[in-house]
Amino acid sequence: MNNTASMKSSTHSAFKWLRSQRIDSLNLTVEEYDHNKTGAKHFHLAADHPENGFLVAFRTIPMDSTGVAHILEHTVLCGSKKYPVRDPFFMMLRRSLNTFMNAMTSSDWTAYPFSSQNVKDFNNLLQVYLDAVFFANLDYFDFSQEGHRVEFEEPNNPQSDLVFKGVVFNEMKGAMSAPTSMLWHTLSSHLFPTTTYHYNSGGEPSCIPDLTYDQLKAFYETHYHPSNAIFMTFGDIPAQKHHECLESYALSSFDRQNLHFKVSDEKRYHTPVQIEETYALDSEEAINKTHIVLGWLLGKSTDLAAQLRAHLLSEVLLENSASPLRYLLETCRLGSSPSPLCGLEESNREMSFVCGIEGSDPKHADTLEKRILEVLEEVAEKGIPQEQVDAVLHQLELHQREVGGDRMPYGLQLLLGGLSSAIHYGDPVGLLNLDPALAQLRQEIKNPNFIQNLVRENLLNNLHRVRLILKPDSHLSTKRTEIEKSRLAQLKSQMSEAQKQTVVDLAATLTARQQKQDNPDILPKVGIEDVSSDLTIPQGKKAKVGNLPLTSYSQGTNGLVYQHIVIDLPYLEDELLAVLPHYSACLTELGVGNRDYRQTQIWQSSISGGISASTTLRSAIDDLQQTNSHFIFSGKALNRNHRALNELLQATLESVRFDELDHLREIMAQRRSGWEDSITGSGHSLAMLAASSGMSPSAALSHHLTGLAGISFLQKLDSSLENKKSCEELAYKFQQIHKRILSAPRQLLLISEEEHQSEFLQNLSQYWGQSSNTDSSTFTRLTLPKIQESVYQAWTANTQVNFCAKAYPTVPIDHPDAAALSVLGGFLRNNYLHRTIREQGGAYGGGAGQDSESGAFRFFSYRDPRLTETLKDFDQSVQWLLDNDHPWRLVEEAILGVISAIDKPKSPAGEARSTFYNELYGRTPEQCRRFRNRILEVQLNNLKEVAEKYLQPEKASVAILTNTARLEQLDGLGLTAYHL
């Protein structure tokens, strides 16, 4: 029986098999099915992979900025027909061994993905997810909690002012605090004047309160139906098994509907458009804070050939400093750095290309636009050197082959990668199987006029172009606050006494509902008995390359090789240590030998998937005051380029140039912009770093190098580099660091497929076999002063919401109490903090956890409208634990969360990399298994013991990230204020 006949005969009766296509570069087969009764699509990526992934997605195409699709995404996860509990999504997070659980709203789709290595757990989650999306309760109180509502500032006092509350409302206040988000949404609103992308699908905070409950339900009824659904699965569970579940859990209850949601073609401009708008910047220092970008609307993203050509064009113009457009943006002196929006956006139905600068002034807009168009004209006239075009194609091939999974499960990465095409009725298989399209592109670029024609067609002759000037307005936040207050005051003035009482009653009812304990037995679960008995850890082989130690791992890397030079970090004076992360970042961006930095970047791109330099610092497993640290110089490449990768790594390490001062200045400006742009996205992490910075040397250094103190230092450093002498001084410091690193002891790490290891060992011997290793007895290693002090800090930045953190000094990872402290974090988050901080307080998130690297137990809130109330919630969660008895189930759920994180798989290379560095810092397989076993043995009394022992109020440190207007709310806390 041939494969086609076999697939047809084995297909579930409720589904129709359409095709199967093998993708050798990904080592999987894509199978496509239709559900007979409803027309629902199912794409299954059959792979020999135990981490199975699932998602169901709906085309959601809002035509306003009320955030209806986003709020609906939150609300459908708040109870369903089969699982009528208030919070099944977060309850399942605690009752699962998932490796990923989430829901997400894009500009034109909403998706619900999860993954798990445990088949029982996978099926549990599948039942809950399917019931949630197809049989949602959509309770009005959940809409009020997750979306928006009004409450009196003093809930029981109708005489007090009204305020807006809601999880999504505060989430989007936080999201829209970031200038980059404002830039993207403002540009999109003009690039797309008539279609769904004109609107903010996440919701504009000023528009979210316009959404009614009836509108939410109507959107659900018209969009959340199998006829508008796309199912995607990945892994070793056969498609037929999925079909049995999909049919019995959901699809059999529906009939086909004539649903064909589609984004229409955008109306095209006949002449370029110039726009000037403002964004909120809570700083009096608004000079040179303007963003100037040009955006073009291109063709349909479902045309794979057109998408690849557009991607090639974007990378040829912008990939690195050798690319003509990026070189202009970096060196034009009209702004501080290229815009973070630079590049191709291909997930919408019609693609867009953006380039521009940030840190500029509106007066430079005409000059910048003129110079950008001149560069494009020059490329259209003269073309691009063939080696640069070939290098971009090389990067596409490498990206296609690399097996990811270190941040998001590999299978879900593939599913989400193909989803946008499926949403727009395209072919996701083409996006996954790029090899044929790349082969065609290789032929096309042989035409000497190929790039020139792309530039003319996509950009120069394309009149649908928008120039956006986005200026800072230091008064805009205040204006928006006043408008919101005025809106609420007017609403209150129009309320009758009965309506005011309704608001009071709603708040009381919602609070009572949030405190209600649902019956958890309604939901399926896994337990400790379902946990794997052992932890899978790769085994490395020890060898020597000359006199350098080598550790190699044989992993299924799908044609890639990963290599690290691991160097003991030498002693550095404070002034050198302060610039260490910037030295690391600059090292691979500078010229090497006779090559300048532009030539070097072409060299890197042509043979590697990137080289990088970084430092690691970790505490000893039994003593927080003792640290060990290394400088890591690494690269990855296709197998055929391993020899060339070694040549590149060796030359860079031995012959890097620190004399390109102008470029050094450009790199630092770009780093400053990137770090500043990241503040509102990672505010909780930055606040936790600050709060724990007095608890161990590693925590202190992290805060001062890459935390809030590090951002402040970089701002001052970057400003000083306007002076050439300061640039020379920085380059000199980098040289001093580099000399010491070159003279430090080193070792090698190699990760590749087994069959290539002998060849790669020969390459290593050729390039590193003659390296002499420093005598460790004469080498002075970096040591850090001991530290144990409390921290009380308030940091202000450009944010509409707050990030709160409180930390307590605890113990290192091998201490017997570390396990209970790790479980305690999940216990407090699951059963107290989630309710008080997120549901009642309106923050997007909050929780607690043990960080055994810094030796700190840390509480946090994320995108939080409150400040002091949240700090009190942190304290009250501990008291709640100590004052009450708690069922074993809650402890077990917290244990499962920790075990799930420990057992979560990484990419094949990531697994080996993690094992190597764990062992380097004393986290041997024996220690890792010992810690995991201790987690499984934790009891409720252990949680109370460690809480009472370590979480004592007088030992707490506090750090808050907020805005200047909110600082007065922190009076009495004794916090020292710092401004970014």
Interval 790-848: pLDDT, tens: 999 999 998 989 999 999 999 999 999 999 999 999 999 999 999 999 999 999 999 99
Residue 660 tokens read as: 């390109």
Q: State the DSSP H helix or E strand holding residue 74, giving kind and residue range, or none if neither.
A: helix 68-75
Asked whether the beta carbons of 259 and 27 are under 8 A apart, the reply is: no
pLDDT of 8: 66
- Report percent pLDDT > 90 for the chain: 89
Q: What mean pLDDT do residues 206-213 have? A: 97
Rounded CA separation 435/441 (Å): 10
pLDDT of 431: 87
Do you know the residue count of the chain?
A: 980
Answer whether residue 777 shows pLDDT above 90.
no
Asked whether the beta carbons of 384 and 365 are under 8 A apart, the reply is: no
pLDDT of 893: 95
Transcribe 513-553 into DSSP letters: HHH----GGGS----GGGS-SS------EEEEETTEEEEEE
Rounded CA separation 447/655 (Å): 37
Residue 9: pLDDT band (50, 70, 90) is low
Domains and CATH numbers, the chain: 3-177+193-259+516-522 (3.30.830.10), 287-473 (3.30.830.10), 546-768 (3.30.830.10), 790-979 (3.30.830.10)
Nearest to 976, CA basis, from 955, 953, 958: 958
Interval 600-657: pLDDT, tens: 999 999 999 999 999 999 999 999 999 999 999 999 999 999 999 999 999 999 999 9
pLDDT of 5: 58
pLDDT of 3: 60
Transcribe 905-966 into DSSP letters: ---HHHHHHHHHHHHHTT--HHHHHHHHHHHHT--HHHHHHHHHHH--GGG-EEEEEE-GGG
Of 108-112, 173-177, 261-265, 716-720, minimum mean pLDDT range: 173-177
Q: What mean pLDDT do residues 36-56 have? A: 96
Residue 877 tokens read as: 């969660």
Rounded CA separation 345/353 (Å): 6
976: left (phi over 0), alpha (psi -120 to 50) or beta: beta
Torsion of CA 761, 767, 768, 769, to 10 degrees: 70
Q: SS3 for 629?
A: strand
Nearest to 110, CA basis, from 419, 415, 429: 419
Answer whether residue 123 shows pLDDT above 60.
yes
Mean pLDDT of the chain: 94
Q: What mean pLDDT do residues 175-190 have? A: 93
φ, ψ (nearest 5 deg) of residue 798? -85, 80
Residue 954 tokens read as: 């007088």
Answer whether residue 28 shows pLDDT above 70.
yes
Residue 488 tokens read as: 């609420």
Rounded CA separation 20/46 (Å): 10
pTM: 0.93
Contact residues for 633 (Cβ-Cβ < 8 A; gap 6+): 564, 565, 567, 587, 611, 612, 613, 649, 652, 653
pLDDT of 533: 87
Rounded CA separation 799/964 (Å): 9
CA 113, 116, 121, 123 dihedral sign is positive
